[in-house]
Amino acid sequence: MKHANVAIFVPHNGCPHQCSFCNQRTITGQMTQPLPQDVRNAVQIAKNSLHSDTKNAEIAFFGGSFTAIEPGYMVSLLEAAAPFVKDGTFAGIRISTRPDCIDEDVLKLLKGYGVTAIELGAQSMDDRVLQLNKRGHTAEQVAAASELIRSHGFTLGLQMMTGLYGDTVQGSKLTARKLSALHPQNMRIYPTIIMRGTELGEKYLRGEYQTLNLEETVQLCAELLDFFEEQGIRVIRLGLHSSPELEWDMLAGPWHPAFRELCESARMLRNITGYLKQNPQLQGSIMIKVNPKTVSKAAGQKKCNLTALAQMGYCVKIVQDADVLENCFTIE
């Protein structure tokens, strides 16, 4: 079974700062705060639908800065989830929080309630970009919190954003290298989407800010995806989840409902064209063998990769071959 989360959103609760890009209630599609009974209900529903496969699933608190919310409320949510972990029904609890809201006492408390994975919203490792976007923490705090989390035996996840106010493509690549050096087990990459009701939204409407376009972002994130996977770091999310609220409040930005598919297709095309350049003897009609799970990535959305290769003079036939590793290819 693929890894699964029982996602419980705690929208914007506990965050001590109003970041320039953040409209958390829109992003999560949720306005109200969950109660402990809501947690129990959500987990029980998931337990019934997943049946025996829950042993591979986590209960995940997302959407805010979990360790910064009122301590009594945080503990009440953990107490509602913990029994499902302690009896072995679920694999663990995952939370997301800020780098400046982690310390020894918090980690001991989380460990006691069965939390197994902690994700930090780093967003950038450039202090200038962090300050411009009013993150309220530094790159050094990201590094210190990451080391503390790993030293206590938690799975470490990190989150970064591309296209932030004041950032560049090269800046995002540098952030990726610095985050990789912190040895997270997984990453989430979120392109900046300009939302109504945010500081970036106001800057955009005044003509003071424009984030990367979709094509630029796809090419950048395809490269970041390659980089993290080469480091043995799993990218578990590329782009924001689709929701009616997101689409309604979005002013601009590189959002696409199949953003990860676009990135994986772009990566596949780049790798194929790179291979063809290194092997100029391959001309005219060629056959590209891929794993059955990789066919759509090789062809590209609406067969855009096949079109691009045709424009380069290649007549391509894609053939399924289960012996080829996923996301790899052979060419004849």
pLDDT at 270: 94
CATH code assigned at 84: 3.20.20.70
- Is there a single domain that holds both residue 299 and residue 222? no
- Is there a single domain that holds both residue 202 and residue 285? no
Q: State the Cα torsion 120-141-160-111 to the nearest 10°.
A: -10
278 Cβ contact list (under 8 Å, min separation 6): none
Domain boundary among 224, 242, 257: 257
User: Is residue 133 domain-resident?
Assistant: yes
Q: Which helix (H) or strand (E) segment is 123 a member of?
A: strand 115-123
Of 141, 137, 121, residue with least CA distance to 129: 137
- From first to last of its 332 residues, the chain has per-residue pLDDT tens of 345 679 898 876 666 667 888 875 544 445 678 999 999 999 998 888 866 566 678 999 987 789 999 999 999 999 999 999 999 989 999 999 999 999 999 999 999 999 999 999 999 999 999 999 999 999 999 999 999 999 999 999 999 999 999 999 999 999 999 999 999 999 999 999 999 999 999 999 999 999 999 999 999 999 999 999 999 999 999 998 877 778 888 999 999 999 999 999 999 999 999 999 999 999 999 999 999 999 999 999 889 999 999 999 999 999 999 999 998 999 99
Say if CB 76 and CB 68 are below 8 A apart. Answer: no
Instruction: Tally the domains of the chain.
Output: 2
User: Is residue 272 domain-resident?
Assistant: no
Q: Distance from first CA to last CA of the chain, Å, rounded?
A: 34
pTM: 0.90
Scan for tokens 């890894």, then name that residue.
3
pLDDT at 63: 78
Domain boundary among 257, 289, 323: 257
- Is there a single domain that holds both residue 236 and residue 293? no
Domain boundary among 223, 257, 291: 257
Helical pair 71-86 and 36-50, crossing angle rounded to 10 deg = 20
User: Is residue 273 domain-resident?
Assistant: no
CA distance 165 to 198: 12
- Is there a single domain that holds both residue 183 and residue 53? yes
Q: Which amino acid is at 186?
A: N
With the C-alpha atoms ordered 83, 234, 244, 97, is the resulting torsion angle positive or negative?
A: positive
- Residue-range definition of the domain harbouring residue 304: 280-331
